[in-house]
Amino acid sequence: MPEPENMGEDLAELLRRRALTEDDARPDAVERRHAAGGRTARENITDLVDPGSFVEYGRFAIAAQRGRRDVQELIERTPGDGLLGGTARVNGAACAVLSYDYTVLAGTQGVLGHRKKDRLFELIERMRLPTVFYAEGGGGRPGDTDYPVVSALDTRAFALWARLSGLVPRIAVVAGRCFAGNAVIAGCSDLIVATENVSIGMGGPAMIAGGGLGEVDPDEVGPADVQARNGVIDVLVSDEAEATAVTKRLLAYFQGATEPGPVPDQLRLRELVPERQRRAYNVKPIIETLADEGSVTFLRDRFAPEMATALARIEGKPLGFIANDTRYMAGAITSDAADKAARFLQLCDAFGLPVVSLVDTPGMMVGPQAEATGLVRHTSRLLVAGGALEVPFVAVILRRGYGLGGQAMVAGSLHEPLLTVAWPSAHLGPMGLEGAVRLGLRKELEAIADEDEREQRVREVTAAAQENAKALNAATLFELDDVVDPAETRALIASTIAAATQAHVRTRGHRFVDTW
């Protein structure tokens, strides 16, 4: 910025102090960050937000350590108290963005940093701003001296951040190490985007050692492969540049409709489900074909892969998909799968995203091992989440819709969705057909001494049951709204959602989105 000729001393001092808050003022810290493969907080925010839209809060805050360090040193070495934050526009829409600055005291949470979060969180609530938070950092900072404290448990930031759940969408971006309070910021968020070098933990190495649990390398506390498989991470990416690009994409789903994207060839849908009932297949190409081309983002992909969850667009309008993936557990609904889908339904419902359910399941998982996971409670959670849905909901039976698992995938009943259709090869039943035959004919089968003859009888009765279970037969009894050509599915989804959203009015008040 050119300096005006009549600049006063106060303005000159302001500009000098402002310059000290920029990356250029600390080239050594920036160089170390780059050498470690990372970007600075300002670089990430600049990449995320629309040019010139960032309004910063608390720029001149410094670490509360005047009792042990020179003020000028604090000004030069701890700009913003290690937290950048403010309002901005992303994809042309208003939002808030915050970032811990790992080049300042390892991104730890200082006294003034907490106060900045308190201020911004309250503004986010008042202004209803979607929020992105770069959460890397080492947790609470023990070195601040300027504030009398015993426990610091009266810090309000965590309560204020948690209170935003279900009110505004919140995306956490995590690169590198993220421990303790920083990890809680990420964990309370609606979505977590993380880089491959991440380590996320409720306590870092110092806390682990202090608890008598031994010495642990920081990168082994909660590495990416662990946190992706256990469901903590929603989207795993290579680096901060990709994380920022993915975050802009995720945020856009909550910012409304866009111009419709290219439409994939819908005739492909006729070929994506095998005719053989027992043959597994990948459900993701079906989601990608139904959605606008290039609009799909899968969430928690490595966790409970038997259940796919994805955000996408149809005719430019954002929506969510849940789908059984028969390549894993034959598409049965496990405890983890139910948790994954239930939480996703809450997310979609909280922020007005319609949901499409693609059903191909033999039912709930059964057996002693499954029950040891708390199956009764976890799978019931999917039914409760479906029953609470207020957004438009459409169900498509791709192949198998059996038992309570099939009902859970359609919010409890085939007549709960606004539209329930099946593809021609679909079969429905109260339980897996062969199992039902063996159960229903137990006494008759036991009376057949010859094993080959017994199994032939099972095959005959099962074949008859399959004829009865066909979708077209179910449709004659109006258990289904329609049986459709797979190539018609996208148009039916779009028309139903368009009709529903014309008059959709939320009847329930604010509800939080479960962190799990």
Q: Could you say which of 193, 225, 253 is where a domain stops? A: 253
Look over the chain and give the mean of its residue pLDDT values, rounded to a whole number: 92
288 shares a domain with 201: no
Q: 339 and 216: one domain? A: no
| pLDDT value of position 184 | 97
Structure confidence by residue, pLDDT tens digits, 231-275? 999 999 999 999 999 999 999 999 999 999 999 999 999 999 998
* Whether residues 240 and 321 fall in one domain: no
> In CATH, what number is assigned to the domain containing residue 301?
3.90.226.10
List strand residue ranges (DSSP E) for 289-354, in order.
297-299, 307-314, 317-324
Q: Indicate if 463 and 476 belong to the same structural domain.
A: no
Task: Give the distance from CA 339 to its chain's centroid.
Answer: 12
Give the separation between CA 188 and CA 160, rounded to whole angstroms: 11
Look up the pTM and report it.
0.93
Q: Are residues 192 and 62 in the same domain?
A: yes
Q: Are residues 233 and 322 in the same domain?
A: no
**CB within 8 Å of 99: residues ≥ 6 apart:** 41, 44, 45, 83, 84, 85, 133, 134
Quick check: is 43 in a domain?
A: yes
Are residues 277 and 165 part of one domain? no
Is 348 a domain residue? yes
- How many structural domains comprise the chain? 3
Residues 221, 359, single domain; the answer is: no
pLDDT exceeds cutoff 90 at 508: no
Express each pLDDT in 337-368 by its tens digit: 999 999 999 999 999 999 999 999 999 999 99
Examine residue 4 and state whether it is found in any structural domain, yes or no. no
pLDDT tens readout for residues 13-39? 999 999 999 999 999 999 999 999 999
Same domain for 110 and 70: yes
For residue 467, pLDDT over 80 is answered with no
In a domain, 79, yes or no: yes
Tell me the CA end-to-end span of the chain in Å, nearest whole number. 48
- Is position 259 within any domain? no
Where a domain ends, among 209, 224, 253?
253
The answer as to whether 2 is a domain residue is no
Confidence of residue 464 (pLDDT cuts 50, 70, 90): low
Residues 52 and 159 in one domain: yes
pLDDT per residue over 66-116, tens digit each? Answer: 989 999 999 999 999 999 999 999 999 999 999 999 999 999 999 999 999
Q: Please check whether residue 507 lies inside any domain of the structure.
A: no
Residue 511 belongs to a domain: no
Do 457 and 394 belong together in one domain? Answer: no
Task: Domain of residue 450: give its range.
Answer: 431-469
368-404 burial, b at 16+ Cβ within 10 Å, e below that, comes to eebeeeebeebbbbbbebbeebebbbbbbbbbbbbbb
Same domain, 229 and 144: yes
Among candidate residues 230, 253, 276, the one where a domain is terminated: 253
pLDDT by residue (tens digit) across 297-345? 999 999 999 999 999 999 999 999 999 999 999 999 999 999 999 999 9
